[in-house]
Structure 1
Amino acid sequence: MPRRIAALLLAVAMLATGVAALVQHPAAGTPKRTVDYVVIAGVAGLRWEDVDEKTTPTLWRMAERGSIGSLSVRSAAAPTCPVDGWLTLGAGNYAARDGLPVTDACPGVNVPIERPDRIGAYLPDQRATVRYNQEKQRWGAVPGALAESVRCTVAVGPGAAVAAARPFGRVDRYEPTLPAEPRDLLASCVLSIVDLGTVAGDDPAVRAAAARRADAALARLLAARPERSLVMVAGVSDTDQASRLHVAVADGPGWERGWVTSASTGRAGYLQLVDLAPTALAALGRPGPERLLIGKAATAAEGRPHDLAAAIAAPADADQEARAQRHVATWFFALLAGFQLALAVAVVPLLRRARRHGATAERPTPRRVIAAVEILLLAAALAIPAALVADAVPWWRTGHAGGVFGAVMLLALGLATAVVRFAGPYRTTLGPMGLVAAVAAVVVGADVLTGARLQLNGVAGYSALEGGRYAGIGTVGLGVTIAGTLLAAGCLAQRIRRSWRPAVIVAVGGAGVIVVGSPYLGADPVGAIALTAGVSIAAAISTGGWLTFARFAWATIAGLAVTAAFAALDLQRPAAERGSLGRFLTALADGTGGLTVHRSGAANVAALVSSPLSLLAVVAAVLVWFALLRPWGGLKRLFGIYPAVRAAMAGIAVAALIGGVLGGSALNVAGAAAALVVPMATLSALRVLDHATDRTHPPLVPPEIPWPPAPADERRPEPGAPVDTPAPADTPAPADTAASGGPAAAAPPTETPAPAATRTPAPHPGQDAPARDRSDRADAAAGNPGESATAEPKGVDVAAPAP
């Protein structure tokens, strides 16, 4: 117990040190007032493919001197139609006008606007819209929160009126169209919101004409802009069911030739629609209602190419990739779930046949069949890492994006499977599991260390259109990282002395926690806490035995220590830069934590019923419970021989469930982890069951008998026969004759046929049977708690002892 306590304390020390070294992100500081006026010009449906030097010369020059980026127009509705986009802009939070479905093209901004005087306007439906977002939506948005944060607001056009209306419906200054001389109007209030029209449809000529009209209105607006003003142009919404990334341009003091970014995205060149309201307030130096605005103030980041055409190509390419990713990812995960389901059904008879063969004389499954099934299991486990690698090739730029991605992914999958198959450790029982886990963890870790470029808008990553994550490690990457890190740690720990196994799991798992939780890398504190819990459980039971109360207590202490370290460091950061853990604790402190819990619960329900990864998790659970954990399934036998692997799988289950539930993704993390773990557990179970039929010959001791055999007249007579002549005194009696009662022991040792029960079947294809026997005997002889009842060296069948 002192050694185990020391190992767990070492885990706490290592993880706390790593977190303290990497989790503290340098504070950017609170934005100070930089301008006297802010003008937000919105064009519904405007994308970067609509912007060029000839069609939109005014916007082109503005983008050339300002900062640009891709705008995600996520709202509380899907898709985000123009009225929902304008509402979200004015709320600084995900809002929607109603819950009516959109079957084709989005309707226009058909909102009743009354003008009781010649100055402002009134929206009679605004109170009902506010009530709908408060009672029916989970975000707690308050339409009009932006207008309530300033003393006076100007609105031009119906969409701008929706964004600038206060919660009770009043618009301070309103004009239906942009006047010919708008200078006085724009200077009358510190905040102006202008509706420049809509760019919709698929016809390039129609879109170009609409973009040209919006550009002409923008030229009048820029000519009349007040001094020391910030002008932002945004494509505030979609126009049909196809969600896209849109234009975001900021021009003003401090926004020269850069990329727009914000703390909500964490990636240069990406901005959310909900970020526009806090950006306007931060530029004006006005405090925003922190409980109402979910977005973060945008800033300008360096690194933009000097050539505007090359700079615009990046967000346009991101829009094309995000559009293709949504369709390809759907069928990829659906096919993966179907393939693993079919493989699970096919492998059950092999498991049962392998176990029956260990106790009967039934012929074993042909080696070629077993080898083919192992290759399929390897491919199933490596499918997600191969899909991640395939995103390094720009498949979305081709005319057949799905087919090209499939070809590239299969090529990467074939190469990865071949590397694992022909590696030296593949011949051992745990070799395939350790190799696949290491490959998966290295692929995701390398992507995170290089900026998570493969996961952004990738098939095995996350989409900027969904607005959930723009940087760091995603849901699928977290599941693969949890599974790969802990499985690799378990396989590595199994190869060393029992007393050092917890330290190995802590070292490998601690590196994974830092990669996942650091804001420089994975930027997922919830995932880091979940992985910490899995590492603690795995380290506690890696030496064998059950999860006793003492072990559970020390594992809990280790997990709570790391969680407290994350929370303390996150709470020290500015409110605008805190992660999900810090925001949740802040909400609990000010009494608004219930809304956060409600959002997480709603997200879990949505993810549970809509994601193919949930099906993967369910299929994995059914296969494990109804097949692998049965007496004939082989998994219990595997756990008995290799306790470190059992500990790793227990830690994976704990970490995946915690990460999915707390992260709002339900079973998605567990599904991604199961896609790697279950095929490898099945392959290892097949090998363990196959080795259960091995036999170890007893040591051959040369018989103490003369050679050649004694003459016939000197042999023992038959029972009851008279004895004529006793054996000579100088002739030794055969050692085995008295015990055997027959002449069989006198046969030459080289010609004695082995009994049927002592046969040794041919080793597994490509495997070294003597090496397996030595390693497994060492595990079984180690005397680990919990192993003695089930562990056995390979080559010895406890059901049929050798004579």
Structure 2
Amino acid sequence: MTRRALLCLAGLLATVAAVLVPVAASSAASPASPPSGGYAAVPAAAATNPVIFVGTGGLTWSDVDEKGTPALWSLLRDGSTAALSVRSVFTNTCPIDGWLSLSAGNRAGADGPGRSGARRTTDPCDPVPVVDSGVVPGWNDYVRSADAKKFDSTLGTLGETLASNNQCIQAVGPGAGVGAAYSSGAVPRYAPYDATKLTGLLSACRVTLVDVGSLRDPDDLPRGEAAPEGAGDRAAQAAAIDKRIGEVLAAAPSGSDVVVASLSDAGQSERLRLVAAKGPHYGPGTLTSKSTRQTGLVQSADLTVTLLESAGVPVPSSLGGKSLTRGTADANSESAARDRLRGLIDFDQASHEVHPLVPTFFNGVVYTQLAIYLLTAVVWRRDFGSTALRLRLLRITRRVAIVASTIPASTFLANLIPWWRFPVPLLAIVASVGLFVTIISAIAFLGPWGRRLTGPLAVVSLVTLLVLGGDVMLGGRLQISSLMGLQPVVGGRFYGMGNVTFALFATSALLLCIAVSSYFVKRGQRRRAALATLAIGLAAVVVDGYPGWGADGGGPPALLPGLAYLVLAILGIRMTWKRGAIIAGVTAGLFLLVGFLDSLRAPDNQSHLGRFFDSLFTGGAWDIVSRKLDQNLAILFGNYRLALLVPIALVFVIYILARPTSWGSRALQRSYEACPTLRPGLIALLVMLTIGFAINDSGVAIPANGAFIAVPLIIAVSVRVLEDEARSLATTRAQRRG
């Protein structure tokens, strides 16, 4: 192997050090792996006070006010609060799903009426069964459903774990019986809800579950499901539930922690719900969890872990949630409570308003991309129209393409403006995105770089890289409930880089590498070009892969091979099978090493990389892989527009790259001459997108979203070459006529 190849591989190994040194340092300061038996150690400061869990459903923070729900208002004023993601195994979460998920500590739910067990949003919810003779009716059916869903959910985990550690659990009400059941479905301590008997029931065990009923919105119920008899409208139901919560608070033993959570949706609509905690460990402020890394936003899986840790028992390592803790402390006052309520409602409103807009947005972007492809195909023809007309169309095409490429970054920046508070959220978010599209486009066009071939490409790529990378480094608040970011109501991911963010981020990194390296190569400085490319690429890998920032397991294995190919091409080193195998080995080793070191950290500090590494040895890895494969296939064949864009974009690039003399490639061929690293950069981009498509869950989203920024910018570069050519031709003809 040549000296240059060794230099390249040394740079790749530097990535390992850059990514892993922070992880190893935090590992050294943290406890080693969990104790044998599959349980994580209980923190030394585990609570010793009783904990009372009050479960309801359908309530959001918008239902809470000082007069209508005084008990919930007191929890907001005096306790710690957050928005709660309750997504279970289906799109909307029924009350029985919420209680089953609490029992398992993972996603679980009752089957729907279909033969496959799937449940649509239009299917009515089954009632929560009432414990009969000390057993939950239909428990075995729930167990079979959980086993079939591949979420590694074991019903009865909460009750069984407490019992195995000599702790009893008291259940009050039907849903509480489901949540407290053992793995066999048995509920040794059960009582129906009776306000006059609460004082004794709440003092019987270290952990008590109380079902105070669920709100079912008459305006949102699936067809065929009747509203609870005599329940009234939404406000009346909320007031009735609040009355029972107040009864529990009044009967709770002194020194106990009370956690109130809305575990399910109110009907067909999926929304963020509410959770509040009050007691010695929960003063006025905001709840947080290491599973979401978002202050004021937690998930239902955190509730089971919180109950177990509050009881002072070991937490099974299979549970994906983390204990709820008081994050941001605040004043105990009415005005402070109103401010917190405004922030909690913002979480819910933003997620609720943006979710239905996402499909429409992506459809619009897809059709816009196809229109740009069509317009480009027309103007690439040399004999199209007069020279003046063609020059005008080329200029329009280039500008439209650059403007289109600024949309992804603008969708994240739009969350700097509270667009969801406006009367017409659709118009508000369009205006917000349009504002930042205008700003970024102006920067790309108006500076001195706007007149250079790769100037706008470099500006748009750099801005996108900084916005997305900076956001995940600072906590990822911009991508929460954004059009191209993470959706809390779906609950798949709350921090780091998801597939869409990675596709945009990695594509921008490689495009920036193309612009910078071409600058140096044109000046005969290939080593500087390679070093600059390596610096940009490795920085992107660190931001994407570091567990404290991007925490992306599938990103670095896709980005590193593309980066390595580009660096070798810049240095003039031909890619061989042997070198490709070395790059693949280094990439796979990096992924496993990061996962291994992350698994050594304390369970509360692990990302999903460490948990997946553990699952390779403790079981469950295949369920994760197969579930993600099912998701990929569902997206590929379920969204025909996305499935349409992927092959069109890939064929568009592959055909031109493979046949430099093919129709339409003349502009790119001239672009290769003007931008020396464009062709190897496009191949590197293709390598990254293809590997990302193959190894990630929902991987089809990676090439599709990468194309949103890559193809318009590539077109802009190529059209600029044709524009210069047409302008030169017009000048020559004018001189001849003169």
TM-score range normalised by the length of the shorter chain: 0.7 to 0.9
Q: TM-score, normalised on structure 2? A: 0.87
AA of the residue aligned to 1:535: L
Q: 1:521 aligns with which of 528, 549, 574?
A: 549
8 Å CA contact retained: 2:547, 2:598: no
Give me the whole-angstrom Cα distance separating, in 2, the residues matched to 1:423 and 1:585.
48
Write the mapping of 1:651-800 to structure 2, written as runs, cut at 5 A. Answer: 651-688=684-721, 761-762=730-731
Give me the whole-angstrom Cα distance separating, in 2, the residues matched to 1:523 and 1:471.
8
Quick check: 1:181 aligned with 2:214?
no
Write the mapping of 1:614-653 to structure 2, written as runs, cut at 5 A. Answer: 614-626=643-655, 630=659, 631-634=662-665, 635-639=668-672, 642-653=675-686
Give me the whole-angstrom Cα distance separating, in 1, the residues matched to 2:415 and 2:533.
31
Give me the whole-angstrom Cα distance separating, in 2, the residues matched to 1:89 and 1:67.
20
Quick check: 1:60 aligned with 2:60?
no
Paired position in structure 2 for 1:452: 476
Paired position in structure 1 for 2:325: 299
Paired position in structure 2 for 1:16: 17
Give me the whole-angstrom Cα distance separating, in 2, the residues matched to 1:231 and 1:89.
16
Give me the whole-angstrom Cα distance separating, in 2, the residues matched to 1:596 and 1:105.
27
Q: Rg: which structure is higher?
A: 1
Paired position in structure 2 for 1:530: 558
Paired position in structure 1 for 2:258: 231
TM-superposed deviation, 1:384: 1.2
Q: 1:247 aligns with which of 274, 293, 297?
A: 274
Give me the whole-angstrom Cα distance separating, in 2, the residues matched to 1:28 and 1:207.
48
Q: Secondary structure at the match of 1:170?
A: coil
Paired position in structure 2 for 1:172: 188
Which deviates more from structure 2 when the two are superposed, residues 218-227 or residues 16-25? Answer: 16-25
Write the mapping of 1:184-583 to structure 2, written as runs, cut at 5 A. Answer: 184-201=200-217, 206-291=233-318, 293-304=319-330, 307-351=336-380, 353-354=381-382, 366-496=390-520, 497-544=525-572, 546-556=574-584, 558-560=586-588, 562-583=590-611
Q: Kindly tell me: are residues 159 and 673 of structure 1, through their superposed partners in 2, closer, same or farther at Cα, counting changes over 3 Å?
A: same
Which deviates more from structure 2 when the two are superposed, residues 61-70 or residues 20-29? Answer: 20-29
Q: Secondary structure at the match of 2:402?
A: helix
Q: Tell me, which stretches of 5 or more residues in structure 2 are unaligned?
A: 32-41, 114-118, 220-230, 734-738
Paired position in structure 2 for 1:114: 132
AA of the residue aligned to 1:5: L
CA deviations over 1:460-487 (Å, ceiling 9, x no partner)? 2111111112223333221111011111
CA deviations over 1:358-389 (Å, ceiling 9, x no partner)? xxx99686211100111111122111112222
Give me the whole-angstrom Cα distance separating, in 2, the residues matched to 1:49 and 1:41.
19
TM-superposed deviation, 1:234: 0.2
Which deviates more from structure 2 when the two are superposed, residues 45-54 or residues 660-669? Answer: 660-669
Give me the whole-angstrom Cα distance separating, in 2, the residues matched to 1:760 and 1:207.
71
Give me the whole-angstrom Cα distance separating, in 2, the residues matched to 1:524 and 1:506.
20
8 Å CA contact retained: 1:605, 1:666: no
CA RMSD of aligned residues (A): 2.9
AA of the residue aligned to 1:11: L
Give me the whole-angstrom Cα distance separating, in 2, the residues matched to 1:209 and 1:557.
62
Give me the whole-angstrom Cα distance separating, in 1, the residues matched to 2:191 and 2:581.
67
8 Å CA contact retained: 1:600, 1:662: no
TM-superposed deviation, 1:28: 7.8
CA deviations over 1:567-622 (Å, ceiling 9, x no partner)? 34312212343222221211111233212212221222233344565544333123
Paired position in structure 1 for 2:116: none
Which deviates more from structure 2 when the two are superposed, residues 197-206 or residues 646-655? Answer: 197-206
CA deviations over 1:521-570 (Å, ceiling 9, x no partner)? 32324324433333223222223464223542453354345435423431
8 Å CA contact retained: 2:507, 2:710: yes
Q: Secondary structure at the match of 2:162?
A: coil
TM-superposed deviation, 1:692: 6.6
8 Å CA contact retained: 2:302, 2:322: yes
AA of the residue aligned to 2:324: A
Give me the whole-angstrom Cα distance separating, in 1, the residues matched to 2:66 and 2:729.
78
Higher relative contact order (CA closer than 8 Å, sequence separation 6+) = 2
8 Å CA contact retained: 1:525, 1:579: no
Q: Kindly tell me: are residues 112 and 368 of structure 1, through their superposed partners in 2, closer, same or farther at Cα, counting changes over 3 Å?
A: same
TM-superposed deviation, 1:228: 4.1
Give me the whole-angstrom Cα distance separating, in 1, the residues matched to 2:272 and 2:26.
28
Aligned-pair identity (%): 30
8 Å CA contact retained: 1:69, 1:249: yes
Give me the whole-angstrom Cα distance separating, in 2, the residues matched to 1:290 and 1:614.
37
Paired position in structure 2 for 1:140: 152
Q: Kindly tell me: are residues 256 and 44 of structure 1, through their superposed partners in 2, closer, same or farther at Cα, counting changes over 3 Å?
A: same
TM-superposed deviation, 1:244: 0.9
TM-superposed deviation, 1:139: 0.8
TM-superposed deviation, 1:15: 5.0
Q: Secondary structure at the match of 1:181?
A: helix
